[in-house]
Structure 1
Amino acid sequence: MNYITGIFAALLSLLLLFMYPLYEQARSQDKIANLVVQAAVTRFVDSARTKGYITPQMYETFNAQLAATGNPYEVRLEHLRKRYVPEYGDPADPSTFKNRFTAFYDGFYNEQILAVLFPNPISSADDPARRYDMQVGDYIGIKLENVNRTAAVQLWDFLMNDNTDENATVALNYEGMVLNEDR
């Protein structure tokens, strides 16, 4: 009986002295990564909102800031372009215009945005054709989450004898309205 108690005490001390502090350190790394990602996303989106465009340099700087956390991320860009459609009583008769317009948003995502920023074949980085332009009233946003299992998730699964399928310990959505059009 004393033998079993000794083994249990050794395992408990191993857990309390080594594993839990290691887990807390990994959790704090995730929190720091979350802060870095939040600052990078906020800086990128707010810059795009106030300038009215995205350049390849802005996107590459943003990705370099994300890479500094050591986690790979799935980044989903979203641009909602506002457009107005006039309302008619009879669409075939222009004289039936109701003096109203309906606002619609056309969505553009990674495929369309990155095709402008990084065309094939690639021209020089400062080529104006590689700038993704937006208009005042449009919306720009990012949805982002890490795709790897961080050390904190792996340690938690080990300590709890669990297997969480959730990878995203760093997840963020940020968007805003385009405020300016610098040309």
Structure 2
Amino acid sequence: MNAFSKMIEIIVTVFLLFLVPLQYIEMKQDLVCQVYVQNETIYFVDSVRNLGYVNRSMYQLFQKRIEQTNHVYHINLVHYKRLQSEETGGNQYVGTYTELILDELYGEEDTKYSMNKGDFFSVEIVNKDKTLSTRIFEMLIDKTVTMDEIYVTYGGGIRDEII
């Protein structure tokens, strides 16, 4: 029994000395990635809101910058076009989503996807791959988890429009 207790002692020691600190460090790394992706998203969305359009090079630069974190992301783009409602006298919004926006960006050379002042534009980003922190956590609890460690959403009204 003495050998068995020594073996358990070694396993617990390895667990406490290596895996728990590694889990903590990787959680901090996920937080750094979250902040980086959030800052890049804010910069991209604010650029679009100030200019009143998004073009292919802006979008590709944004993709390239967030991919520097070595994670795979799902990017959702949403544009709500403001329409004046004659019946109610208020505003109505019609949504255009990622697929149609990208179709217009990649349809012809140097095409812009234009928006008008008062429209709403937002971006949502979710990581599609599992971070090391998640993999360690799954190993510790011996179950598969679905957690989005890196999730960013940001948007706002278009301030200007192209002339």
Give the TM-score normalised by the residue count of structure 1: 0.84
- Contact 2:114–2:162 under 8 Å retained in 1: no
What is the CA–CA distance in structure 1 between the aligned matches of 2:76 and 2:2, rounded to whole Å?
58
Match of 1:3 in 2: 3
Q: Which runs of 5+ in 2 are unaligned?
A: none
After TM superposition, list the pairs within 5 Å mapping 1:102-113 onto structure 2: 102-113=90-101
Q: Which runs of 5+ in 1 are unaligned?
A: 88-99
Percent of residue pairs identical: 27
Give the TM-score normalised by the residue count of structure 2: 0.94
1:152 aligns with 2:140: no
What is the CA–CA distance in structure 1 between the aligned matches of 2:156 and 2:90, rounded to whole Å?
21
Aligned-residue CA RMSD (Å): 1.3
What is the CA–CA distance in structure 2 between the aligned matches of 1:34 and 1:53, rounded to whole Å?
26
Kindly state the Cα deviation for residue 173 of structure 1 after the two structures are TM-superposed: 1.3
Kindly state the Cα deviation for residue 143 of structure 1 after the two structures are TM-superposed: 1.4
- Contact 1:147–1:167 under 8 Å retained in 2: no
Match of 1:180 in 2: 160
- Contact 2:78–2:96 under 8 Å retained in 1: yes
What is the CA–CA distance in structure 1 between the aligned matches of 2:38 and 2:125, rounded to whole Å?
10
1:143 aligns with 2:124: yes
1:131 aligns with 2:112: yes
Kindly state the Cα deviation for residue 142 of structure 1 after the two structures are TM-superposed: 0.9
- Contact 2:118–2:159 under 8 Å retained in 1: yes
Which of 1 and 2 has greater Rg? 1
Task: Give the SS at the match of 1:172.
Answer: strand
Spell out, residue by residue over 1:23-66, the C-alpha distance to the aligned partner (whole angstroms, 9 max, x if none).
12221221111011101110011110111110111101100111
What is the CA–CA distance in structure 1 between the aligned matches of 2:122 and 2:77, rounded to whole Å?
6
| Dislocated runs of 4+, deviation >4 Å | none
Kindly state the Cα deviation for residue 101 of structure 1 after the two structures are TM-superposed: 2.0
What is the CA–CA distance in structure 2 between the aligned matches of 1:27 and 1:102, rounded to whole Å?
46
Task: Give the SS at the match of 1:27.
Answer: helix
The amino acid that maps onto 1:136 is K
Aligned residues, how many? 163
Kindly state the Cα deviation for residue 84 of structure 1 after the two structures are TM-superposed: 0.7
